[in-house]
Structure 1
Amino acid sequence: MKYIVPLLAVLMLSACATQPVTSGISVEQSKNSFNEQLRVDNLDLGNKLAITDVKTRQTNQLTDVVVTLSSQYKKSQYLQYQFNWFDKDGFIIKGNHSPWQALTLFGFAKTQLPGLAPSSDAVTFSLAVREVSTESQEFKD
């Protein structure tokens, strides 16, 4: 059975100034075109990113995806991303999210982010993207 990834959503997390900040972006697939809809907790980061393409295929009964993330900003962005996978009923597949991966996205550049489902039960996914602070952080007593 061929699985179609109908929804890509960047998860939203709230954070204070010294913590990473997450932006939300979702893309729905419709006849090989993508309608971008921003769901943003961090409007500033959301305005600097766009998902311009999503490709899927089946590899050994696992959903294999490549998400093209594009910078809409002139300067480099220091980010982290993470895939989470969901079953056909929309429930997260517990314990099977990928670790946060570092990503430097240069001004107006595009990059492809690959993801592989952890099991054949995974039919949709979400992609979380957050900013990483470049300022040094001090621990206080």
Structure 2
Amino acid sequence: MKYIVPMCAVLLLSACATQPVTSGIAVEQNKGNFNDQLRVDNPDLGEKLAITDVKTRQTNQLTDVVVTLSSQYKKSQYLQYQFKWFDKDGFLIKGNHSPWQPLTLFGFANTQLPGLAPSSDAVTFSLAVRKVSTESQEFKD
């Protein structure tokens, strides 16, 4: 547990022409209060979501995390989330990212997002959450 320095919650919403742009809220926990390091990239989504708790533990030599995501908004939000895992040097563990998982977060509700490292080399993580459009998509020729 002493080697765990979790990084949490990078909320993604949009992209620019050359590379993805992070939007929403991001937070890192470094043995202190993770709210002290909260970063808001997208004020609209950042006002509607909050990270209210991050818990970590070791389970069979694997990092096990639970991130509590809270709605600060009265309506339901349709989201997706994905964990990525990093080694002790901060490098992304290749071939290791979970598929995007659907998430409906009801108004003013909390939900826990669980993650389990794929190997004992994974000691930190990031959690990406993005908004899902509820509008129909049309393709134009």
**Structure 1 CA distance for aligned equivalents of residues 87 and 11 of structure 2:** 17
Match in the other structure for 2:101: 101
- Paired with 1:88 and 1:39, the residues of 2 have a C-alpha distance of 26
* Equivalent position amino acid for 1:115 in 2: G
2:23, 2:40 within 8 Å by CA — same for their partners in 1? no
TM-score of the superposition, structure 2-length normalised?
0.85
Work out the CA distance in 2 between the residues paired with 1:60 and 1:69.
26
Question: Displacement, 1:60?
Answer: 1.1
Q: Distance in 2 between matches of 1:94 and 1:106?
A: 34
Report how many residues are paired: 135
Q: Structure 2: 5+ residue runs without aligned partners? A: 17-21
**TM-score, normalised on structure 1?**
0.85
Q: CA deviation at 1:77?
A: 0.3
Within-5 A mapping of 1:110-129: 110-129=110-129
Q: Equivalent residues in 2 for 1:72-111 (5 A)? A: 72-111=72-111
Displacement after TM superposition at 1:96 (Å) = 0.5
Q: What SS does structure 1 have at the residue aligned with 2:80? A: strand
User: Any gaps of 5 or more consecutive residues in structure 1?
Assistant: none
Task: Please list, as runs of the form range in 1=range in 2, the aligned pairs for 1:19-38 lying within 5 A after superposition.
Answer: 22-31=23-32, 33-36=33-36, 37-38=38-39
Contact map agreement 1:82 1:100 (CA 8 A) in 2: yes
What is the SS of the residue equivalent to 1:35?
Answer: helix
Identity %: 80
Maintained 8 Å contact 2:83/2:98: yes
CA RMSD of aligned residues (A): 2.0
Query: C-alpha distance in 1, partners of 2:138/2:90?
Result: 40
Give, in angstroms, the shift of residue 2 of structure 1: 4.2
Contact kept, 8 Å, 1:6 with 1:124, in 2: the verdict is yes
Return the letter of the residue paired with 1:38.
R
In structure 2, relative to structure 1, the CA distance for the partners of 1:12 and 1:138 (3 Å cut) is closer
